[in-house]
Structure 1
């Protein structure tokens, strides 16, 4: 589906990033809705009711997808063409783009560690040290995930709307520039967690001001990175192997979440401030590599076709 979304736009059409932000917005909206429906039914009425509701949801999604076929090119649905077309060979630029995108996968994996640590050591820390109280009652720690999902959905929409407004007045940044901006916000999110730990006296609970600021700043960074990086892969991946390269993109999540677990294991063995400084360093390192990619490789991959490529085309 990600490959289909990306192929709806011409190579230089920056609306592709907007499309993937809407794509991620829908996914994150599901993160909010599904626990409320599926989880509630499963816990209150029975396990099979929860699974049944999930099945109904998938059928609704499939019906919408089939209804939307009229908005997609016919070849997306395996419609045979009347005349066979020769398969265009991979050019030198295509191979360079493929190699560059594969090299970006571990960088993306490092870049998502600060965000995905929300679901690991961050919750352990919050359960232990956050002042999660309302009217004298302790709130469930997992409500922080609900808060993060709500904030993420909000800023996916806000960021997409912001760039639609921006491009009516100025030149819209390309995908790599947006990813670099996202890295800066990711660093800022880690600064918030560092400050939460550094400014709280020993033995006292951490107020929610810094954590809430973290969720806001980090969500702005997330809106600039995940959907936009997927748009970048969809744009640069050669059309001959577009779906395959986008499939490889998701390896960054496998590697990133493996790193989250490995790095999260350090939480119990070091000061909290040092723990979040490490995550700040990871976000900074990934941002530097994205910047180098933009300076050194992007002009060749996103510019005009080279003579050899033009001849092959």
Structure 2
């Protein structure tokens, strides 16, 4: 994920896209060959006993409230990810026309931004985990829903920065330092969104439908990517600064909703815990 834009992107932009696609195909073939060669070293799949219909757990009233809340949060999470997913769509088109890619006297391929974004995401995810571990030694660590709201707020700041960069261009090229600052901030926000949201869904999901809820969770990415395609067309009719400001506003709306959902999430979790305790006793 980190190295592929360096190889495929550079070949595509410098020598022709047929070379970039060929490199991608070769990379996938090599990956498949490595998997097939190492398959014999994988542990055997455990045999899972299939429950009879009579043995399956029924959902309680509290479970249905949890499910309703989790489903209601999906469009909110989709809005929160609109900006991040736009990086792989309209952002690359705008970046190619707006950033000054001159580096050490040579022009850097635009696709290298994806490599930097991937590296920043991995680094910020690790640093975020480390930060909250250090924080928890002296203070109470925020619950997942609060971290989601924090991630949305940081993402808003990232896109406000991008809007400021677009406005400062004045018809000229934008320094790559704006891109560095944007990607780092956005990666901090991303580290508090998708991974944290997945943890929240796994923790909140009723045991009887836990695997189903994990699958349903990823629907928010489907919705976000569809919104990205629709929103990306607005870059042709809006100035760049307003375009990125609109993304900040949309993500900001999701941040407000996530902050408002902190109380309901805590209450639903408390109700589910009390009902589970009664059922065990």
**Normalised-by-shorter TM-score class:** 0.7 to 0.9
State the match for 1:5 in structure 2: none
2:2 is matched with which residue: 29, 32, 35?
32
Q: 1:167 to 1:271 in 2, by over 3 A?
A: same
State the match for 1:230 in structure 2: 198
1:244-280 CA distance string (max 9 Å, x none): 1110111111110010010000001011111011101
* 1:149 aligns to 2:126 (yes or no): no
State the match for 1:74 in structure 2: none
1:300 is matched with which residue: 267, 271, 275?
267
Distance 1:185 1:234 in 2: 24
1:126–1:141 contact (8 Å) kept in structure 2: yes
1:180–1:287 contact (8 Å) kept in structure 2: yes
* 1:118 aligns to 2:95 (yes or no): no
3-state DSSP class of the match of 2:257? Answer: helix
Structure 1 range deviating more: 224-233 or 165-174:
165-174
State the match for 2:212 in structure 1: 244
Q: 1:306 to 1:220 in 2, by over 3 A?
A: closer
Distance 1:146 1:166 in 2: 30
Distance 1:149 1:271 in 2: 27
1:38–1:54 contact (8 Å) kept in structure 2: no
For normalisation by structure 1, the TM-score amounts to 0.78
Distance 2:7 2:172 in 1: 37
Quote how far apart the aligned CAs of 1:34 are: 5.0
Distance 1:266 1:145 in 2: 22
1:63-117 CA distance string (max 9 Å, x none): 78638x8xxxxxxx44439xx9943321111111111111111111111110111
1:195–1:210 contact (8 Å) kept in structure 2: no
Quote how far apart the aligned CAs of 1:307 are: 6.1
1:116–1:260 contact (8 Å) kept in structure 2: yes
2:63–2:206 contact (8 Å) kept in structure 1: yes
For normalisation by structure 2, the TM-score amounts to 0.86
2:178 is matched with which residue: 200, 210, 216?
210
Quote how far apart the aligned CAs of 1:170 are: 1.8
Q: 1:61 to 1:149 in 2, by over 3 A?
A: farther
2:68 is matched with which residue: 87, 99, 119?
99
1:190-218 CA distance string (max 9 Å, x none): 011011012222x2111112221110110
State the match for 1:139 in structure 2: 108
Q: How many residues align?
A: 272
* 1:80 aligns to 2:49 (yes or no): yes
Distance 1:242 1:307 in 2: 19
Name the Cα RMSD after superposition. 2.9
3-state DSSP class of the match of 2:2? Answer: helix
